[in-house]
Amino acid sequence: MVEAPQTEEGWFSLHDFRSIDWDAWREAPERERRQAIEEGEAFLKHRELVADADEGDSGLFSVLGHKADLLFVHFRPTLDDLSSIERRFEDTALAKFTERTTSYVSVTEVSGYVSDEYFEDPDSVDAGLRRYIEGKLTPEIPDDEYVCFYPMSKRRGEEHNWYDLSFEDRADLMADHGEVGKRYAGKIKQVIASSVGFDSHEWGVTLFGSDPTDIKDIVYEMRFDPASSRYGEFGEFYIGRRFPPADLGAYLAGETVPTGEADDEATGADSGEGRHGHGERGHHHAGGHHGPSDGHDHAGATGGAPQGDHPHGEGDGAGEGDHPHAGGDGSEHGGEGEEGTSDEDIRGELADLNIYAGKPHGEDVYATVLYSEADVDDLFDEVEGLRGNFDHYGTHVKTAVYEGRHTDRAAVVSIWETASAAETAAGFLSELPEVVGRAGEESGFGTMGMFYTTKSEHRQDFVDTFDDVEDLLSEMEGHLETDLMINVENADDMFIASQWTAKEDAMAFFGSDEFRETVQWGREVLADRPRHVFLA
C-alpha cells in the first residue's frame, strides 16, 4: 500500500466570492446605499482586526471579470468561526446588494514532506523550521498585493495517477517543483490549504504578488514541471487586488482602488505604515505573534521539499462589533485657560453606546473612552485580552482601565495615532461587559479628557485638590457629574470624567479663574503636561 504522508492542520480558510447587483445598487435610495457602505465597511474592518476570534486574518479584494466582483478571504482557528463570519455578513445592509457566486473551504496544513523529525519529535526541530511551519499553518495575508486564487487536484488518470506513486517519488517531484518557486523569492507569496473532504478539489491555492505578471509567470513556468504537466488538474482562476475597507464606497462608485486616501487614517488593521490604509501590521495570535517564514528551504530526511503534498514548491520563493461607528476625530482644547472652542473643534458622538473619540491636546493621537459597570477586575481581564491584539499595531499608543472614586463605573481609555484607529477600537471595546453610556441618564455635553500623570510624592496632594475642585463644580450651573478615576495599573495616572448639560456650561468652567489657578498649581505636581479632550 502506498504510504500517505502525515499531516498537521492549522487555520481553516474561507474564500467568499460575491457579485454586486449593480441594477439594485443604482436604483437604491442614497440613504440605503450609505447605510450599506457604513455597515459593510465596519464589518470588514472588524474582520481584519479579528474582532470575532482569538486569532486569524482577513482581507478584502476586488475581482476582475464576470465570475465575481469582491472576494473576502478569512483565516480562522475553527470552521465555526468561519460559519459565524458568513452569517454576520448576511446581517449587514451591504449583503442584500450582493450574491455569492462561489466559495471555497479549506484548511492549512504541513505534511511529512516538511520533515520526518517534526512529526516524530517536534521539540527537536530548529527554530527556523519551526517558524517556517508556523507561517504555513497560520498564514498572514500580505499587504497591498494582487491576488490569484484557484483550486487544483492531483490527477488520478489511467496513465498518470499521483496516488499510485511512492512517497519517495512524490517527494522528489515536489522538490523539483519547489525549485521553480524559489526563483520567485521576494515576488510571490503563496498560501496553500487542503480541501480534501471539504470542497470540490484537493487544494486551494492563493498567490500574492505586487506585480500581476509575476503571478502569470510562476503559474506558466510550473505548468511545464512534471508535477503539474503530468499530475495537475486545475479549476477556475480568479484575479484581483487587495484594498482597504475604508475604500468600499470608492469601489462601489467606480473609482480605482486602493485609492491611497486611507493611508492617512490607517487603523490597527490599517496601521498607516504603507499598505493603502493597512500598513505593515501585526498578526492576530493568542499567546504571541507568529512571524512569517524565514525563507529557508527545510528539506526532510527523505529529501522532500517543504511543501508536502501541496501543488507548488514554496521554499524561499513562494513563500466584534459589526455596527458602523460614525463620528469624528474630536479636538483639542488647551487646558490652560482658553475660554472656549469652536464647533469645528468639538465633533459628534460615535454611534451606539455613546462612545466618544477625540484628540488630546498638543499630540497627534486620538482617544476613545467608554464606561462600564462591570466588576473592575473582570473588566481589566477583558481589556487586557483586547490590548494584547491592539499592541500588534504600530498605531496603538495605550489602552487602560480607570476605576472611579465616587461612582460605580470604570472607564476604558484607548489612545491611537489615527482617528480611524480610535474609531475602530471603539467597536471592539463596545462589546465589553456591562458597557453603559455617559455618566447618568442625562444627555448633554461630555468631556472625555483631562488626563493627568502626577509625581508620586504629590499624588495625594493632587487628589485632595481635586476634591476641593469637585465641591466647586457641584455648585456650577449645568454641571451633572465629575469623577476622578485612577488607572488600575498606575495610581499616578488619572483621568477626570466630567459631564455637563451643555457645551457652554463646560466652557464657562474651563475658562474660569478657578480652573486656571488649578492648572497653574498642577504644573508643580504633574510629571508631564496634562491632556484635555472634549466632544459634543
pLDDT digits (tens, 9 = 90+) for 113-142: 566 667 777 777 777 777 878 888 999 998
What are the distances in angstroms from CA 36 to CA 42, 119, 232, 245, 421?
10, 48, 41, 12, 21
Dig out the grid coordinates for 394 from the structure.
504600530
Cβ atoms within 10 Å, residue 183: 15
pLDDT of residue 520: 62
Q: What is the pLDDT of residues 142-200, one digit of tens each?
A: 886 899 999 999 888 778 887 788 778 877 777 776 677 678 877 899 899 999 999 99
Q: Which residue stretches of 327-482 are H helix?
A: 376-390, 419-429, 459-474
> How many Cβ atoms sit within 10 Å of the Cβ of residue 384?
12
Determine if the pTM surpasses 0.75: no
Evaluate whether 499 touches 446 at the Cβ level (below 8 Å): yes
Active-site option among 104, 113, 132, 150: 150
- The single-letter code of the amino acid at 89 is F
Q: Cα separations (Å) of 106 from 15, 16, 170, 239?
A: 9, 12, 22, 19
Q: Does 277 or 62 have the greater pLDDT score?
A: 62
- Tens digits of residue pLDDT in 334-376: 333 333 333 333 333 332 333 333 444 445 567 788 888 999 9
Residue 184 annotated in active site: no
The mean-pLDDT minimum among 212-216, 270-274, 369-373 falls in 270-274
CATH entry 3.30.70.1030 includes domain 7-249: yes
Tell me how far CA of residue 342 lies from CA of 286, 435, 504, 515, 534, in angstroms: 44, 30, 11, 19, 11
| Topology (CATH) of 350-525 | Alpha-Beta Plaits (3.30.70)
For 498, the grid coordinates are: 466630567
Helix (H, G, I), strand (E, B) or coil at 347: coil
Residue with the three cell numbers 498572514? 140
Q: Cβ contacts of residue 80 below 8 Å, gap of 6+?
A: none
Chain segment 291-342, per-residue pLDDT in tens: 323 333 333 322 233 233 444 444 333 333 333 222 333 333 233 333 333 3
Q: Do you find a cis peptide bond into 258, omega within 30 degrees of 0?
A: yes
Nearest one of 422, 291, 311 to 357, comparing CA atoms: 422
Sign of CA dihedral 71, 75, 79, 83: negative
Domains of the chain, residue spans: 7-249, 350-525
Question: Do the Cβ atoms of 271 and 395 come closer than 8 Å?
Answer: yes
Residue of 104, 110, 42 whose CA lies nearest to 73: 104
Asked if 45 and 245 touch (Cβ cutoff 8 Å), the reply is: yes
Q: Which of 78, 60, 77 is nearest to 69 (CA)?
A: 60
Reference 309, options 206, 189, 200, 194; nearest CA is: 194
Are 7-249 and 350-525 equal in CATH topology?
yes
CA–CA distance from 186 to each of 49, 221, 289 (Å)? 26, 17, 22
